[in-house]
Amino acid sequence: METKDFAFDIDFDSFKDYFLCKAFDVIGNGSYKAHVIKCKDNHDAWAVSMHKSISAVNECLRQLHILFQKIDFLPNQYLSLVSKDLLQTTSPPICSAELWGVCGISGLHTSECVNVVCSGRSVDTFTMHKKYFVFFKYFWFVLKLDHIIRSLMRYWIVEKQDEVTGMSKSEQCSHFSKTYNVEKYYTIFNASMKHVSESLLLYMEHYELLSPMQTLIENKKNEKKERKRKL
């Protein structure tokens, strides 16, 4: 199956199972995932269903990774460079107010540029048109989903400490599933998957339509931009 033919969407029940499994694993200090696998191997219906849901979300993320890796072969490496730096960070990207500048992705001068800051092991700043920031924001959310869920759970445990004190791990999991709003993250996830996958496909199609001479010109322009960025 071609990646471009893959449907980058997940139903709510599958996403909720994925989210809850990750969340319960934090509550159980890493024991819940092993519990699900054991019960799945015993053919317990609930565990078989949850494992199927987790596999569906993981496959969706895997297909997006495959799609993302294809941009490494395109002339303009700026998008790949920023995206890879984002994957090394544990904080979402932030951007400045609009300013005059040269967009690193399109190469155009515009007053609607923003400086996007990626702060991980080092701090990198990239200048681009503000419309591209939405892509990077969604890109970070989707591919850092596991990290986001675990961070949310650690915060929830601290915030709800008084409520969950005295509860068993099972009771804490039940309390979380009944009170936490997973649906809002599902909405963001599907919107992010749609935006990122469609953006990457359109980006690749742009270069597929270029003639060999145009591709050579694009390569030269991007090499020049990259040299300037390093100065």
Q: What is the pLDDT of residue 120?
A: 59
Residue 115 and residue 37 share a domain:
no
Residue 169 and residue 65 share a domain:
yes
8 Å CB contact between 193 and 14: no
Domain end (from 107, 130, 153): 130
Spatial distance between the Cα atoms of 82 and 203, rounded to a whole number of angstroms: 15
Domain end (from 83, 109, 130): 130
Residue 225 lies in a domain: no
Residue 219 lies in a domain: no
Highest mean pLDDT among 20-34, 62-76, 108-122, 209-223: 20-34
Residue 146 and residue 51 share a domain:
yes
Residue 202 and residue 99 share a domain:
no
Residue 144 and residue 69 share a domain:
yes
Residue 14 and residue 67 share a domain:
yes
Domain end (from 84, 111, 130): 130
Residue 206 and residue 98 share a domain:
no
pLDDT, tens digit, 9 for 90 and up, residues 135-152: 989 999 999 999 999 999
Residue 69 and residue 145 share a domain:
yes
Rg (CA), the chain: 21
Residue 109 lies in a domain: yes
Residue 34 CA neighbour count, 13 Å, CB half: 5
Spatial distance between the Cα atoms of 176 and 164, rounded to a whole number of angstroms: 10
Better-scored residue on pLDDT, 121 or 204? 204
Residue 72: strand, helix, or coil: helix
Residue 123 and residue 13 share a domain:
no
* Domain that includes residue 148, residue range: 9-73+140-210
Q: Which of 2, 8, 134 is nearest to 59 (CA)?
A: 8
Residue 217 lies in a domain: no
Sign, Cα dihedral of 23, 27, 31, 32: negative
Residue 203 and residue 111 share a domain:
no
Residue 215 lies in a domain: no
Residue 65 lies in a domain: yes
How confident is residue 86, by pLDDT bands cut at 50, 70 and 90? confident
Residue 154 and residue 122 share a domain:
no
User: How many domains would you assign to the chain?
Assistant: 2
Residue 64 lies in a domain: yes
How confident is residue 77, by pLDDT bands cut at 50, 70 and 90? confident
pLDDT, tens digit, 9 for 90 and up, residues 152-174: 999 999 999 999 888 999 999 99
Residue 24 lies in a domain: yes
Residue 13 and residue 61 share a domain:
yes
